[in-house]
Structure 1
Amino acid sequence: MKSHSSTLLAEVRTFRQNHPDVRYVDLIALDIPGHFYGKRYPVDMLEKVAAGSPLKLPQNAVLLGAQGGLFKIGDYCFHDGDPDANRRLVPGTLKPVSWEAQPLGQMLITSDGTEAPIEFEPREVLANVLERLNRKGIHPVVAFELEFYLFDKKLSDGLPQFARDPLSDDADDQPNLHIERLSRFAPVLDDMVETAKAQGIDITVITAELGPGQFEINFGHLEDGLRAADWAALFCRSTRGVALKHGYRASFMAKPYLQHPGSGMHVHVSLYDAAGNNLLAAHQQQPLRHAVAGCLELLPHCMPIFSPNHNAFRRLGGTVNAATRACWGYEDRDACVRIPESDPRNLRIEHRLASADANPYLVLAAILVGLEHGLEAAKEPIAPLNEDRNSGTDFPLEMLDAVRAMQHQPALREGLGAEFVDVYCENKRQDHLAFQQEIHAREYRWYL
């Protein structure tokens, strides 16, 4: 413990030496809907926390709905006295924030590793899954890919406007994959990349996607699944901030335009043993097929995680590469689970179903539980799309149906934790019902 505290203390002191103008640091964690919550700490108080002083935040901050409100979930929120829960600093995540008007720092916090971790905290859920896999001799290597849209900074009657081409000042309203879009938006994209790198995030490939003002960012592969999910979460935060600084609005909303492609979160996962052998490639890739079968079996029960809100379900079955059935295939982007071409050492799955605004900790946890389930059940998967274009099994396409499918699935309750599943499903149910409690202007036009 002393060694751990001394490492954190050294990190804070080095940060203060390198950034003497920073007076405050945002201590942040991801809640269930995928929003950051936390506190802004004076940097001298942060040094005391690093040295061992307690760091406490309300336990139920994790349960906030999409709009920040609290729902009654069992005894939580309204019958538990709203207790505090211990958090700890995540080493290696104290970084400068460059998109705010004043010098600032930020650092991740978590309940994972404390004396009483919060069972439904997303990072804790993933930590438990990874720890269990490691005990079984399974070591995931993970890489995220995130799609997002740029919009004009100002909304028009609450609706997004196309990003303005900085060279012509015209709206970037033409969907394309042209490399010139990367050049035209280079100032903001370059700043996004450099800011992410300053957060310790390894950015690799940048792509101009098919939608107008749509881009994709790929991250490097990591042996630390928690850090891979950290990168995805932190990138979303920094990208929104950098976009505003440049006069744009960046959004990871799943389906901002009905007529254009939605934004997805693609996750690449390989599994290795302690000696570094690719477990999926053994025995003529039989474990790969078993892992795929497990992913597909649990996929219909994980839809509230992969499509966490009403808008995310709009993305499914959309214009490009968004399936409406649980399916797989080799080098097939129409598949939920794609097997990219690779040598045996790098054999992996690419899980393509989750929306870009899904919680990265929970998406990765659900994928890993599916892989784990498949390896243990050792079943053969359905035919790949390469053999049968109609292959696939149905999954829920509405939130309430999806919640019912998730809540009582035994493998998920065991793999993700029964308490988490119950809390998460009720959070999503209440969020969806709250979303419905507003009469849209269209209803008056149609029915008044």
Structure 2
Amino acid sequence: MHAATADLLAEVRAFRAAHPEIHYVDLICLDLPGHFYGKRYPVDALEQVAAGSLLKLPQNCILLGTQGGLYKIGDYCFNDGDPDAVRRLIPGTLKRVSWEKQPLGQMLITTDGTDAPVVFEPREVLARVLGRLAQRGIRPVVAFELEFYLFDAQLEHGMPRYPRDRLSDDPDDQPNMHIERLTRFSDVLHETVDVACEQGIDATVITAELGPGQFEINFGHCDDGLRAADWSAMFCRSTRGVALKHGYRASFMGKPYLHAPGSGMHVHVSLYDEGGRNLLALDSQRPLRHAVAGCLGLLPHCMPVFAPNHNAYRRYGSMVNAASRASWGFEDRDACIRIPESDAKNLRIEHRLASADANPYLVLAAILTGMEQGLDAGIEPIAPLNEDRGSGIGFPKDMLSAVAAMQDHAAVREGMGSEFVMVYCENKRNEELDFRNEISGREYRWYL
């Protein structure tokens, strides 16, 4: 038996022995918008898959829109016969789901590493970028940070409500960035972190953020970029489940309140060579500056990745949130790319632009592509905000403009794959047009 197959089979059998009450396992994978799709498998059938039986799901599941619909994209979806694509189990991700009422397990699946990977599957896009860097002897170390909101589980006329806590009946009594808010919501927050750790996620620091009911979670630095993105994806799923269990609704929506900060996905990235040297710190940090320049140059052409839906663009230029121009700076949280203070071994960039509901595989792939191209080009970046508060590069502020800037950009197509770029841009363009195809009550009030 192949060693990898033997290891997977041992993992499944150990799981069954440890959890005899679990009879079903969700096999899940991220689609383009960053939502999980998959199948619920009997655990004995899962053992057959681990032993080598084929696991197939429709290829076009990856192309689902935010609301689950399919759009005509090239020959996909409606002219291709809806073919199946082989998936494989991702070792180490079979875990117990503790937030459901009935005993359940879950495990990540992917097309990457199969004989015929789907080139536009998000995990495969990242795998290809990481593989290209590995061939050059470059090993990224990555840490994600995610901001999210808690709301009351029940919406009010379709609108979110502040979460009620056990110490106050006043929904406005939310001490911003105060340790007391962690105490008020300690039951749900502690279980959120505990469950994440049970999933194998290295969840570390949790912080009360500025918005009412807003929090941030930090993950440990990981030398496996795919696993770091896996952690981010799985955390979103488990957090939503734990929140509902406690009577709350957890959301990673980019800008749920106009008057409060939006939620971002911050990604820390450093690059090491095969000898363990931090490449960004060499030659008086010249590679760091080149990597920053590459990220800034590519950023305006990757906005559909960083801001994946109509709402996400509300963050940019807001008085209480993210920047309106691509910028960088040392220890400057106003910058899209921040350089945290650190020693040479831990020197890194912190990419702060992405919305919290962006697809983590694609965000990391875009960041690494920008860094790689910056190192190759060897150009200096624009002035940091520390030297010039007006420094910055414009980027699109709406989805249709963002898609136009991405779809034909040669460097993005080369770095992330031309077929992926075509498919992703068409998915986002169609979804935006679909979203706009409704007349709101406000439109009638203004123009009737």
TM (normalized to structure 2)?
0.99
Aligned-pair CA distance for 1:317:
1.4
Equivalent-residue separation in structure 2 for 1:33 and 1:192 (angstroms): 23
Give the match's secondary structure for 2:74: coil
Alignment partner, residue 408 of structure 2: 408
Equivalent-residue separation in structure 2 for 1:43 and 1:172 (angstroms): 46
Alignment partner, residue 290 of structure 2: 290
Equivalent-residue separation in structure 1 for 2:171 and 2:186 (angstroms): 16
Give the match's secondary structure for 2:294: helix
Alignment partner, residue 299 of structure 2: 299
Amino acid at match of 1:2: H
Give the match's secondary structure for 2:379: coil
Aligned-residue sequence identity (percent) comes to 75
Misfit runs of 4+, over 3 Å: 172-175
Alignment partner, residue 111 of structure 2: 111
Give the match's secondary structure for 2:62: helix
Confirm or deny: 8 A CA contact 1:55 1:86 kept in the other structure.
Answer: yes
Confirm or deny: 8 A CA contact 1:163 1:172 kept in the other structure.
Answer: no
Confirm or deny: 8 A CA contact 1:302 1:406 kept in the other structure.
Answer: yes
Aligned-pair CA distance for 1:341:
0.2
Amino acid at match of 1:6: A
Amino acid at match of 2:178: H
Aligned-pair CA distance for 1:67:
0.4
C-alpha distance after superposition, 1:140-159 (max 9, x if no partner): 00000000000000000000
Kindly report which structure 2 residues correspond to 1:200-349, keeping only aligned pairs within 5 A, or say none: 200-349=200-349
Alignment partner, residue 100 of structure 1: 100
Equivalent-residue separation in structure 2 for 1:39 and 1:174 (angstroms): 40
Equivalent-residue separation in structure 2 for 1:384 and 1:434 (angstroms): 39
Confirm or deny: 8 A CA contact 1:153 1:249 kept in the other structure.
Answer: yes
Amino acid at match of 2:198: A
C-alpha distance after superposition, 1:328-366 (max 9, x if no partner): 000000000000000000000000000000000000000
Equivalent-residue separation in structure 2 for 1:106 and 1:388 (angstroms): 49
Amino acid at match of 1:401: S
Alignment partner, residue 2 of structure 1: 2
Amino acid at match of 1:177: M
Equivalent-residue separation in structure 2 for 1:398 and 1:175 (angstroms): 33
Alignment partner, residue 442 of structure 1: 442
Aligned-pair CA distance for 1:172:
5.0
Alignment partner, residue 41 of structure 1: 41
Give the match's secondary structure for 1:108: strand
Alignment partner, residue 128 of structure 1: 128
Give the match's secondary structure for 1:231: helix
C-alpha distance after superposition, 1:182-231 (max 9, x if no partner): 01100000000000000000111110000000000000000000000000
Give the match's secondary structure for 1:216: strand
Equivalent-residue separation in structure 2 for 1:170 and 1:145 (angstroms): 29
Equivalent-residue separation in structure 2 for 1:330 and 1:173 (angstroms): 34
Aligned-pair CA distance for 1:444:
1.3
Aligned-pair CA distance for 1:169:
3.7
Amino acid at match of 2:236: C
Kindly report which structure 2 residues correspond to 1:164-175, keeping only aligned pairs within 5 A, or say none: 164-172=164-172, 174=174
Give the match's secondary structure for 1:444: helix
Aligned-pair CA distance for 1:175:
5.7
Equivalent-residue separation in structure 1 for 2:79 and 2:445 (angstroms): 42
Equivalent-residue separation in structure 1 for 2:57 and 2:144 (angstroms): 29
Equivalent-residue separation in structure 1 for 2:129 and 2:170 (angstroms): 48
Aligned-pair CA distance for 1:168:
2.5
Alignment partner, residue 389 of structure 2: 389
Equivalent-residue separation in structure 1 for 2:363 and 2:173 (angstroms): 31
Amino acid at match of 1:252: F
Confirm or deny: 8 A CA contact 2:21 2:103 kept in the other structure.
Answer: yes
Amino acid at match of 2:115: E
Aligned-pair CA distance for 1:125:
0.1
Confirm or deny: 8 A CA contact 1:173 1:213 kept in the other structure.
Answer: no
Amino acid at match of 1:151: F
Aligned-pair CA distance for 1:173:
5.0
Alignment partner, residue 30 of structure 2: 30
Equivalent-residue separation in structure 1 for 2:206 and 2:319 (angstroms): 22
Give the match's secondary structure for 2:52: coil
Amino acid at match of 2:110: T
TM (normalized to structure 1)?
0.99
Equivalent-residue separation in structure 2 for 1:278 and 1:179 (angstroms): 35
Amino acid at match of 2:238: S
Confirm or deny: 8 A CA contact 2:259 2:320 kept in the other structure.
Answer: no
Gaps of 5+ in 2: none
Is residue 17 of structure 1 aligned with residue 17 of structure 2? yes
Number of aligned residue pairs: give it. Answer: 448
Amino acid at match of 1:320: V
59-68 or 316-325, which deviates more: 316-325
C-alpha distance after superposition, 1:312-334 (max 9, x if no partner): 00011123341110100000000
RMSD: 0.8
Confirm or deny: 8 A CA contact 2:174 2:181 kept in the other structure.
Answer: no
Alignment partner, residue 353 of structure 1: 353
Aligned-pair CA distance for 1:174:
3.5
Is residue 80 of structure 1 aligned with residue 108 of structure 2? no
Confirm or deny: 8 A CA contact 1:321 1:335 kept in the other structure.
Answer: no
Alignment partner, residue 163 of structure 1: 163
